[in-house]
Amino acid sequence: MSIKAPRRLDLRKEPITPLLVTNNCPETIYPGISTQSGDGPKENGFKLDPGEMKNQTVSEDWQGRVWGRTNCSFNDEGTAPKDGGPKACRTGDCNGIVNCIVGGDVPVSLAEFTLDAGDGHTYYDISLVDGYNIPMAIVLQPLQNASLDDIPPNLTNPSCQGTFGLLREKGYDPYTSGYQWFLRTNSSYPLPFDQDVDDKQISRWCPWDLQQQPPEKPGDGVYPYPDDNIQRPAFNPCYSACAKNNKPEDCCTGDHSSPSTCQPSDYSKAVKKVCPDAYSYAFDDQTSTFIIPSGAGFEVQFCPGARSTNILATESEKLHQLAESGHVNKNSKRWLGIF
CATH of the domain at 321: 2.60.110.10
Tens digit of each residue's pLDDT (9 = 90 or more) over 281-304: 999 988 899 999 999 999 999 999
Query: Into how many domains does the chain fold?
Result: 1
Domain range enclosing 221 = 17-336
The reply to whether omega before 226 is within 30° of 0 (cis) is yes
Q: Which of 224, 220, 234, 192 is nearest to 70 (CA)?
A: 234
Contact 131, 157 (CB under 8 A): no
In 38-109, DSSP assigns E strands to 53-58, 63-72, 89-91
Helices and strands in the chain, H and E counts: 8, 12
Among 273, 280, 236, 264, smallest CA distance to 128 is for: 280
> Does the residue 265 lie in any domain?
yes
**Mean pLDDT, residues 258-264 taken together:** 93
Q: For residue range 108-140, what is the model confidence (pLDDT) as tens digits?
A: 999 999 999 999 999 999 999 999 999 999 999
Residue 287 covered by a domain: yes
Within a domain: residue 8? no
pTM of the full predicted structure? 0.90
Residue 2 domain flag: no
Q: Is residue 309 part of a domain?
A: yes
**H-helix or E-strand containing 270?**
helix 266-274
Q: Residue 187 — pLDDT band, cuts 50, 70, 90?
A: very high
User: Does residue 11 lie in a domain region?
Assistant: no
Q: Kindly provide the b/e burial profile for residues 100-131, where b requires at least 16 CB atoms within 10 angstroms of the residue's own CB.
A: beebbbbbbbbbbbbbbeeebbbbbbbbbbbb
Residue 7 lies in a domain: no
Establish if 9 belongs to a structural domain. Answer: no
Q: Residues for the chain: how many in total?
A: 339
**pLDDT the model gives residue 268:** 95
Among the listed ranges 26-30, 74-78, 183-187, 222-226, which one has the minimum average pLDDT value?
Answer: 222-226
Per-residue pLDDT at 9 = 44
CA–CA–CA angle 283, 130, 252 (5° rounding):
35
